[in-house]
Every structure is written in C-alpha cells, then in structure tokens.
Structure 1
C-alpha cells in the first residue's frame, strides 16, 4: 500500500515547488554578495553553485529510490529502526523550522523597510500568518498548485530587467577571472547556500506521481533557478560599476528604479509586492516540511494542528526578541554549515551505505 497515494503532485508542481524554495529572499541581495567576494566574476560562482546543487539533488533522488513510497524519515525508520527515525524527524523539524523562520522574518523585514516602514513587524507577520496557515494546513497537492500559480503569475516581472541593459557597460565583466580562482571559489559557498531548497525532495518524492521523472525534474528546477540568478546578477554587474554595486543592500530592487511609466512612479514597490508571493513559495514548503516531520515524530496522521503552534512560536519569537536585517543575515550564516552537512554530507553517506547494503544483501541471497 502506498502511504501517500491520496495526496500527489504532478511533475510540473514538483519542479515549481523545488524552484520556489530556492528563489527566495536571497535573490534580492545576491548580486551585492557576489560582487563583495568575487567582483564581476561572481556570475562564474553561480555556475559552480549550480553544479554542486545539481549533484547533491541527484544523490538525494538516488537515496529516495531505495524507499520510494515514503519520506526520508520513513526510509531511515525502515533501514535503521524506529529510534533513528525519531531522531531524524526531530533534526528535520529543527532544521526546517529554523530555516523557515529566518526567511519568514526576513520577508516581514523587507516589507517593513520598503513598503510599510511605520508598521510594527509583529503586525506584518501576524497578517502573513493567516494565509500561511490556510495553505500549509492542507495537503501537498494544494501547496503544489499554489507554487505553480505563483510561478506563472510572477515570471513576467523578469522582463523588466531588460530595461537597465540599455545603459549597460559590458566591459565591466572583462577580463574574466581577473582575480584568479580563489575569490570565485569563496563566492561559490555563497551561491551554494542560495541554491539550497532542493533538500525538500526528501519529502516531495513519495508524493510525486511519476517518480521515474524525479531526477530530470529536480535538474530542471535547478536550471530555472540558475537562469533567474544569472539574469539578475549579470544585469546588475553590467549596469552598476564594480565598486558602486557593493553600496546597495538590495541591488535587485534598486535596478527597477530606472523603469518609469507615466501612470506609475515607483515600480520597485509593485515588484516587491509581487515578490512577496515568490518569498511565500520558499516559506510555505519549509513550514510544510516542518509540520510533516513533526507529525511523523509524534506518530500522527494530521499535521494541521502543528501549523498553528509553528506560527505562534514565530510570532512569540518576534515579539520577545528585536529583529533586524543584519541580525537575520547573521542567523543565516550560522545555519549555513549545518545546511551543507544535512544537504550534501548526509545524503552522500546515506547513499554509500544503502549501496553497500544492497550489494551485500544480493550476495547473501545468492
């Protein structure tokens, strides 16, 4: 019996869910972060980050093929026992809750800074919690449809980034690898974190209708993410000078200030209002993975009641501790090492173990 047969997602929804988690708030600051570490060669680091994320993604899919009808927690329980599964569920609850909270709070901080500076952050997150609850409490099918809708609803905004190219100076990109490979490799770590999000395949795989397409789907998701990152980064690098770009905290938004219409003064406000939906496609799958892990930790079928507690904890956290963009970025840096271990080291070790286990089992049967 397939445990998750009733709640399934299509191939397109699978792609857009993974892509949505990857393209979150990091896109707004990515060009500046790359320029600070590798100058205008930062776009090369994006390609390296994409290669690493694609390899990591494919390894995760190979691991999940060993137990296709369950999540990573079900897989670990099957091969290592109940208590290992419980420990893994607890770790994933903490990881996704912490990561989701960072993005959730930063979403509110961006809205406060750019759109509603006089509004209290707690009020903003309280308002964001209402639609978040209404979506996450449902099954993965609803979440997949939402990710699909947001993708087609917001992708057209990228065409506005062709306007700054009229004043672009392509010589800013030359010469290539001007500072050697060392700063590019240093920047690759930043891009590796920007591509994180594909690890939700640990929980999406059992819901996918056509599991034979899981590998190509996750590769397509990574390619879409690379395309978005490259477009915005190259436009920023060619429009701003190498020194000027580092002076803007969110150059992705500042680029849109030169786009003008007779009926609209500040296009960047409209962009950010739409981008809230894009950020939500990062937050909501992370929250769903959190509550799904929590339901498996406590052996419950219904995950909806854990959504309320998760959102309440986020609101209490914001209410008790002062929040800032600088502090939020510091929390992100602290989770980077944990993320790299959970996303790259853990799947590789598990894949090797399961491969050896399968080989030894075949020999014993012979």
Structure 2
C-alpha cells in the first residue's frame, strides 16, 4: 500500500504512457517509414499498433498478479530478493541509457535548429535544471506535468492540416504497391516507435482506478497511433515518394510552408514548443530510472539520485562529442534490448505466472 500515497489519475496514466511514446521519434518517423516501405509505411503503423497494444495488455495482466507493487516488487515476490535486485539493475541501466540518448538528441535538435552556436554542455545544463525540479518529486507531479503539456501543446498538431491544401493523394496509390514484404520490414520501425508503454510496469501500483488500466493503455496507444498517422500521411501526400527521404526531419520541414504575416520561420517556433513534448518522454524515463535505483538500495527518497543521473549526462557529453549519427547508432544498439523488455519479457513472464498459478491451484487440490 506504500504507493497509494502518491496516486495518479486515469488521465495522468494515459498521458504519461502517450508522452513517453511521442517524442523525438516523431520528427524522423515519416522518412524512416518511407525508406523501408515507401508510401505504404502508414499500414505498418497500424500493424505496429496491434503488436504494441497486445504487449501492453499482457503487461497489465502480469501486474494484476501483484497490484500493489512495481515489476521489481513482483519479481522479488515470485523469484526472490536477488532476482529482484538484478531486475532493478537491468531496468536502471536500460532506462538510464534510453533516457540519456533521448536527452542528448533533444539537445542536438535545439543546437541544430535553434541555437547552432551554443555548446552542447550548456544546452543540456539548461535542460537539466527544470528536469531536476520535476523528476525529484513523486510520480503524481510527473503525471500532472505530462497532463499539462498534452493540453498545452495539442493545438500544435493542427498545423499539419495546413500542408494538405497542397497534398497529392495519388502518392498513396496503389496501396500495397510493392507487396507485403516492405511493409512487414517497416513494422520493425513502428514497434520501436510505440515503445514506452512498458512504463506501465511502474505506473500500475500508483494508478487509482486499476480496473481501468487495460482500457487506459489501449487509449494511450491509440492516441499515439492517431498522431503518427496524421503526421505520416500528411508527409507522404505532401512530398513525393523520393523527395521525403531527402529530409532528415520531414515533420519539421513540413511547417516551412505555413506562413503568417506576423511570423517567419514557424518551424523554429514550433520546435521551441515541441521541446515540452520531448520532455514528457525524457522526464518519466528519468523518474523510472531513479525510482528503480531507490528500490535497489531500499530507500524511500529517490530525489538524491536525480542529480547524479543528470550530472553523469553532462560529464558524458563533455568528454564525448555528440552528433546525430552517433546518437542514431546508440538508438539502434538499444533496439534489441528494448524489444526484449517491451515485448518478449512481458509475454514470457505472463506465461510463467499462468503456469505458476495453475500448478499452485493443483497443489492445493
């Protein structure tokens, strides 16, 4: 019952999961899909949504076996203390790596598009200050922040309907023009784009209305699907199939055609506000990292670990120069582990718990 002191609402639960899914990946997603499946890439988004939703529902079924604890508590209860500690170390390393990679990429976007003359260490130091102030608090505060950012920035996506006035819908035809193989190849990209739902392993014990956990995670995944589909289809219809692959961040380049008499370079203003959206990816991941560290060491307060995590990021950037190519390589390196923790691990654990429950009932009889 120790987690009920810092509860999150149903809406905060949805926006935390959705926020982790929609971040820097959205900026490059249309190009990545076009490179693998051409303008049929939007079909891969729907297939990826099916896989992610299925994995999400399995996670909820797993957590129902230990509703008042996180995944680390569940593993400790079923497999023992040392297995729980090993799991905590794995989650700490995984989320620290993922969070740091996205954190650095956020800084790279700011440096490339907005402040090209500013040193990366300075940028990340400035980002670290608000990050520390939010992550040092409990999950309720992080959830409120995710909810606030969603409603504060949702209007930004309506700008993507403007390029539709110059859209060429014939770019999408014929559907499945090159067969299913390119689409299935692109599914790999989409299932990684939906990753973030596995944060439910840590959100579940904080959720007030646990009976809504399944529908909440489905809503979060569907919300992410809608955002991905809108941006991807707009990009596919606005750019030619060959042209879209020439832009690193076609999602940002789309906004160059949106003009106002009182405003130039809308994409710069948009990206400045989009930093808030990226933060809803980074901050929950950082929270899970330091929260797992507090569980590993048996501490109630996780706030002292936040400063160390942010400091390690600054030291890393100070000694190792960063670039988009290097950052992308790190993301690719994390994909196999992300697949294991997000898709394979919940399935295996769910099957084990079903067998465990079945055998326990037989033993009682």
Pairwise same-fold verdict (TM > 0.5): yes
What does the per-residue CA deviation read over 1:237-294, in whole Å, with 9 as the maximum and x for residues that have no partner? Answer: 0000000000000000000000000000111011101100000000000000000110
Structure 1 residues 80-119: aligned runs within 5 Å: 80-119=79-118
Aligned counterparts of 1:39 and 1:124: Cα–Cα separation in 2: 36
Aligned counterparts of 1:85 and 1:92: Cα–Cα separation in 2: 11
Match of 1:161 in 2: 160
Aligned counterparts of 2:82 and 2:279: Cα–Cα separation in 1: 33
Match of 1:127 in 2: 126
Aligned counterparts of 1:58 and 1:163: Cα–Cα separation in 2: 36
Secondary structure at the aligned position of 1:5 is classed as: helix
Aligned counterparts of 2:76 and 2:35: Cα–Cα separation in 1: 44
Match of 1:229 in 2: 228
Runs of 4+ in 1 over 4 A off after TM superposition: none
Match of 2:190 in 1: 191
Secondary structure at the aligned position of 1:97 is classed as: helix
Q: How many residues are treated as equivalent by the alignment?
A: 365
Match of 1:281 in 2: 280
Question: CA RMSD, aligned part only?
Answer: 0.5
Structure 1 residues 277-356: aligned runs within 5 Å: 277-356=276-355
Secondary structure at the aligned position of 1:138 is classed as: coil
Match of 1:56 in 2: 55
Asked if residue 40 in structure 1 is aligned to residue 39 in structure 2, the reply is yes
Aligned counterparts of 1:51 and 1:91: Cα–Cα separation in 2: 27
Structure 1 residues 145-156: aligned runs within 5 Å: 145-156=144-155
Match of 1:16 in 2: 15
Which segments of 5 or more consecutive residues in structure 2 lack a partner in the other structure? Answer: none
Aligned counterparts of 1:314 and 1:150: Cα–Cα separation in 2: 24
Aligned counterparts of 2:126 and 2:167: Cα–Cα separation in 1: 39
Secondary structure at the aligned position of 1:4 is classed as: helix
Secondary structure at the aligned position of 1:163 is classed as: helix
- Cα deviation, residue 226, structure 1: 0.2
- Cα deviation, residue 75, structure 1: 0.3
TM-score, length basis structure 2 = 1.00
What does the per-residue CA deviation read over 1:345-365, in whole Å, with 9 as the maximum and x for residues that have no partner? Answer: 111111011111111111122
Match of 1:255 in 2: 254
Match of 1:203 in 2: 202
TM-score, length basis structure 1 = 0.99
Aligned counterparts of 1:251 and 1:56: Cα–Cα separation in 2: 29
